[in-house]
Structure 1
């Protein structure tokens, strides 16, 4: 099974502007759908969403997006484009883990890790969760937690910190979707934030109930299908046809009104709102 999982980026009001920019600088990228609240788009053929959520949350360096450039992406040009109005966490150069690598925070606050190495997967953009501060030794725990929830998932690789069992880096496949996990032993002034989340699409109410309960265990549950797991990372658990229901010309506004009153999403009440 290959479930649709994709990142959501929180913006104050610039989601459409950011999506237009990203689809102009990344190859094989396009806008899929726009409305005043959200924009769906693809980066290197991989789905992503931008959300106009207001100023409540900001994106964080604890969530970044690896771009495995290989021969398909001009890393020098991409670095130059993303640096316009942005800043370099790691300037483009050679590092022990890659012959050509950079970490950039762009002008919209999104973090990208650019790696000249190729990847043996059609998914060239891979979300990365960075475990820091009180979470610095929990990357392995998180990896096992996620692998235990998503069926047909597996660990692809792991690298511990030198002289430690704690994970420095790992890559997992959650029902066909690649996710990287990293940790840092340094003290940072950031952590996870709802400004970056992962969306999990579900076929039916049983799946919504399952992922809602399992991913939220030990964390906390929020409105509109959002939850924060025990590590502080945010997820959205939604039915696969949610967009169709809230964009329906006759029932869409009622469906949206119903959604705004929910914590866990109820398919029956969204599909046939009162």
Structure 2
């Protein structure tokens, strides 16, 4: 059962992008989950009055949330979404998995930009990395039939720029805070671009049933983590929320409405598991806008 969610910051295009992903991603659907109120908005939110606030995109049962907002932030490749085309999900047919991958690539590429050409690589017979027209990055990979099962959608953290060579430290930190389980862990045998010998070439880890990949960049990059892509973690009650918040928040000025930035720059939304019910209460949006860490009793 999915617990970790990926949130994508949309610059006023949330509903449009939701329809795009529902068409482009296999087995997908979308729904406008909430809308901005028409009163009580901050000045910068006024143009969004009545528009979609959150749009849920369901991809083979996994949820991605589009947060419709202003142009302050834009997704970048520091957090991409890896789509795992596993032949086991196609009755063992590599050809069927490959065909679905290619069809998805064609749709996501329309109006976008290739970051790594779709083709054969040492780690996969079919792989490509694309940034779509909404600046969201996707890695499409054809799994080997003998590979361990992984979810179809996996957020992928690329540690570069200010976070270069900190992937191993981050994985250890997430293991401590969330009880993450480590999966693959492959290191660079020698320096590769800005990646130091012994830094992480590829790793993945599980948060409950959800898998995340993490790696250090092997090429110089001038970007790193921003709120353009954030990770959402639901907590069962205020005590757990307080513990996770205190362990994760490292940038006080970034704290707002349940959002925080950790010591690596990754943005998280640490929220009550019953946030949907809380947001249905009268004036809940205004109450939330006045908080940094979310306090359940103040909704």
- Is TM-score (shorter-chain normalized) higher than 0.5? yes
CA distance in 2, matches of 1:106, 1:45: 22
2:275 aligned with 1:255, yes or no?
A: no
What corresponds to 1:176 in structure 2? 209
**Once the two structures are superposed, what CA deviation does each residue of 1:161-191 show, in whole Å capped at 9, x if it has no partner?**
1232111110000122100001113221211
2:229 aligned with 1:196, yes or no?
A: yes
CA distance in 1, matches of 2:2, 2:178: 9
More displaced 10-residue stretch of structure 1: 182-191 or 258-267: 182-191
- For normalisation by structure 2, the TM-score amounts to 0.84
Give the aligned length.
263
CA distance in 2, matches of 1:87, 1:186: 18
1:37 alignment partner, one of 35, 46, 53: 53
**Once the two structures are superposed, what CA deviation does each residue of 1:96-127 show, in whole Å capped at 9, x if it has no partner?**
22111000001111100000116644621000
CA distance in 2, matches of 1:242, 1:105: 31
Residues 231, 169 of structure 1: alpha-carbon distance in 2 compared, 3 angstrom cutoff: same
Q: How does 1:207-226 map to 2 (within 5 A)?
A: 207-216=240-249, 218-220=250-252, 221-226=254-259
Cα displacement (A) at 1:233: 0.4
Tell me if the contact between 2:30 and 2:58 (Cα under 8 Å) persists in the aligned partners.
yes
**Once the two structures are superposed, what CA deviation does each residue of 1:41-94 show, in whole Å capped at 9, x if it has no partner?**
212221110001210001011010000112345111111111110110011101
SS where residue 37 of structure 1 aligns? strand
Tell me if the contact between 1:62 and 1:131 (Cα under 8 Å) persists in the aligned partners.
yes
1:156 alignment partner, one of 173, 178, 183: 183
More displaced 10-residue stretch of structure 1: 183-192 or 141-150: 183-192
SS where residue 227 of structure 1 aligns? strand
Residues 141, 26 of structure 1: alpha-carbon distance in 2 compared, 3 angstrom cutoff: same
CA distance in 2, matches of 1:258, 1:110: 30
2:219 aligned with 1:186, yes or no?
A: yes
2:66 alignment partner, one of 41, 50, 57: 50
CA distance in 1, matches of 2:149, 2:279: 33
- For normalisation by structure 1, the TM-score amounts to 0.91
CA distance in 2, matches of 1:134, 1:54: 25
Cα displacement (A) at 1:246: 1.7
CA distance in 2, matches of 1:157, 1:120: 10
Tell me if the contact between 2:84 and 2:150 (Cα under 8 Å) persists in the aligned partners.
no
